[in-house]
Structure 1
Amino acid sequence: MPYSRCGYREAFDAALADLLTRHTTLHGPAASPSSLLPLVPIALAALAYRTLGWAPAARTDYLPHALVTGFETRGPRVAGFGRNRRPDAVAALGAGPLVVERPACERAVHREIEDMYEEHLREAFTPVGQEPLAVWRLGSVMGDQERLFKWRAGNPAGVTDAQLATLRLASQMGAALFRIALADPGTEAEVTIGGRNLRYPAERKDAAGAHNWEKATAFALITGVREDLVPLVLTGPAFARPDGSASSAYREALHAYLKGGDPEPAVQRALEQAEKAKDWGFAMPPAVLLSQLVEGDEESFNLALADALEAHRDYYQVADRVDEPDTSVDLDILALACHARRRGWAIRVESPYLPQPLLRAAEPF
């Protein structure tokens, strides 16, 4: 169990604050130069930061950033930021792959569920009378395929042909949603999904919203189908409507990176948003992992990858989260790992969360 869950970090922060308060009270406003650097609090803060990744909760000049962090660049995005900045993790990465285990999460997909999802597919692809095909159904069946993939990803058999077919279908559906959104209002958009040529009325509604954009982009990066990525780059998470979610900055940063140009400001906003949300009680997208991809630092990307997977594992071991489809795999993390592999980077993290057949298939565009 992580230290912070046991209350150790809170106790440490309180004790450190008490030390600083007593130091301030003792020396008062007429402090001598020798009292401006309280060695014991600095040493304890540095030890906590460099071994556990705990940044001091207290913001004070008594704890100089350079001394606490070992002269890191100020700001959250630095090489190897996070728990795997520990020397032992860096050494392990140099000696061989970092291994991130996954608790058993095998799920049986009932035949009734598969039949229901097949029926949803038929409804999404079959017009009723003179009515046009419903765009909203595409977003719904993409969610069905996402759940199928995640349930099956928990099985020890690895990635099967059925899972690959599910990924390709979901990727095509996501791309279709945003091709439809790109079409001129009042016209029809022709899309190809699973070998079917289909026509949908052009619209920019909830189906082309930020949540579906993030999922569709993850599927396109995992499958590596460039044609599926094109409409997502041309639109973006806020194309249909503003994104007011806690994930908005990450989505903007990912879009900025995929478009090219300078994604640095957007990435910084994503890191700041993730920092604010860390105690909100829900999982956030892997902003630090994306930042290392943007930075172009392969080693730090691998360290951040292990961090992200460990954080995902910790989150989904709590209460009834263990029964959710997301337990077996995080699409955003997997997508960035596959994309990094296509950049020619070695993925030096081994884990059931990162199905090897998908990584091996991730060849450069």
Structure 2
Amino acid sequence: MTIVVPRHGEAGPNSARWAEALGESLAGSVARLESSPTMIDSTFRTALLHVEARCTVDPEAAELETWEAVVSAMQVGSALFAVTGATEGTVECRINRETRALPAVGPRSFADAGNWLTAFWLAIVCRDQKRMTQLCQIPLERLRSPEGEYDEYIYHWVDALQTYWLQRPGLVEKLTAAIEGSYPEAVSATPRDLLQGVLYPPINLFHRFVRKDEEGFSQALVEALELHKAYWTADEDRAKDPDGRIALGPLALACLAHDGEIPLAVESAYLPKHLLQRSWLGEFPT
């Protein structure tokens, strides 16, 4: 039996125009990156907002414009780590259907573990294995932020994902450290409701995935979506926030499961159907 988890928040009368305006703003920001590469952080935020706006008006990602938005966000996220990983010269990055020579900017505080996870989720959703590998080759120390900004579990979590994708030894130990480090009593920088509702569920899903626990994965996916919904509807401000329109981490893990032929007994606009089923893959070079 398929379980349906309805998404909160319907498109309003101005939602389509807002999505279009964000797309235009993003195109302008991308065009300026070759002369203003340090703006890539704000460009990434705009790209993510554009994805959320597109998914608001197109919950199944049935329109090409939504796929274009997701691909652009993935490209900008990967470019963010490419330009901050170089200290001189330029880096060739394909963004918005063009290959661009972006000047290196060297290490920046925004090239952190949080943005790494977002960029990695997008690369998984786009099934871009080359970018997944490039992101996983980034040394963990490059992603560290000043003490107190992130709890230690996030670095174990990134380490576990990199270890899995690059087939390095020690996955069990690293994933165990991520799980134990995300216990409520072990964290201090992360709000408990954010941890429980948004940040921990992908770790649990990944644990089920690597164990090939098909039944457990489906159950954990339903739970992840219900927790996501509970977090993003806890108050009026959150309910209006477009960040909650899709569950990016669970979506990425569901894409891995789908491609691994793990049956998914859940449907939800939090997991846009045509992103999950890779319907647009190969539509244009990414």
The TM-score, its normalising length taken from structure 1, stands at 0.65
What is the alpha-carbon distance in structure 1 between the residues aligned to residue 90 and residue 254 of structure 2?
Answer: 36
Which of the residues 316, 322, 344 maps onto 2:261? Answer: 344
| Cα gap change, 1:208 to 1:133, in 2 (>3 Å) | farther
* 1:284 corresponding residue in structure 2: 199
Superposition deviation, residue 238 in structure 1: 4.0
Return closer, same or farther for 1:133/1:211 CA change in 2, 3 Å cut-off. farther
Q: Which amino acid aligns with 1:317?
A: T
Q: Match of 1:269? A: 177
Stretches of structure 1 that go unaligned for 5 or more consecutive residues are 1-95
**Structure of larger gyration radius:** 1
Q: How much identity, in percent, do the aligned residues show?
A: 25
Distance 2:94 2:191 in 1: 42
Q: Distance in 2 between matches of 1:292 and 1:135?
A: 39
CA distance in 2, matches of 1:294, 1:157: 29
Mapped partners of 1:293, 1:300: distance in 2: 9
1:205 and 2:108 are equivalent in the alignment: yes
Do the aligned partners of 2:193 and 2:231 also contact (CA within 8 Å) in 1? Answer: no
| Alpha-carbon distance in 1 for matches of 2:89, 2:8 | 49
Alpha-carbon distance change, 126 to 268 in structure 1, aligned in 2, over 3 angstroms:
same
Matched residue type, 2:161 = L
Using the size of structure 2 for normalisation, the TM-score is 0.81
Q: CA RMSD in A?
A: 2.7
CA contact 1:177–1:208 (8 Å) conserved in 2: yes
Unaligned runs of 5+ in 2: 282-286
Q: Deviation of residue 181 (structure 1)?
A: 3.4
User: 139-148 or 329-338, which moves further after superposition?
Assistant: 139-148
Higher-RCO chain (CA-CA 8 Å, sequence separation at least 6): 2
Once the two structures are TM-superposed, the CA of residue 279 in structure 1 deviates from its matched residue by 6.9
The separation in 2 between residues aligned to 1:191 and 1:349, in whole angstroms, is: 36
CA distance in 1, matches of 2:257, 2:78: 21
Deviations 1:118-162 (A, max 9, x none): 2453244237xxxx6333322222221211222332336531211
Alignment match, 2:118: 215
- Whether the 8 Å CA contact 2:54–2:69 is kept in 1: the answer is no
Q: CA deviation at 1:284?
A: 2.0
Code of the residue aligned with 1:266 in structure 2: it is: K
Q: Which AA in structure 2 matches 1:258?
A: W
Residue 148 of structure 1 aligns to a residue in which SS? Answer: helix
Give me the whole-angstrom Cα distance separating, in 1, the residues matched to 2:26 and 2:6.
35
4+ residue runs of structure 1 moved beyond 4 angstroms? none
The change in CA–CA distance for 1:126 and 1:284 in structure 2 (over 3 A counts) is closer
**How far apart are 1:362 and its partner, in Å?**
7.0
1:173 aligns with 2:76: yes
Q: Which of 157, 169, 175 is 1:250 aligned to?
A: 157
> 3-state SS of the aligned residue for 1:281?
helix
Counterpart of 2:6 in structure 1: which amino acid? E
How many residue pairs match? The answer is: 264
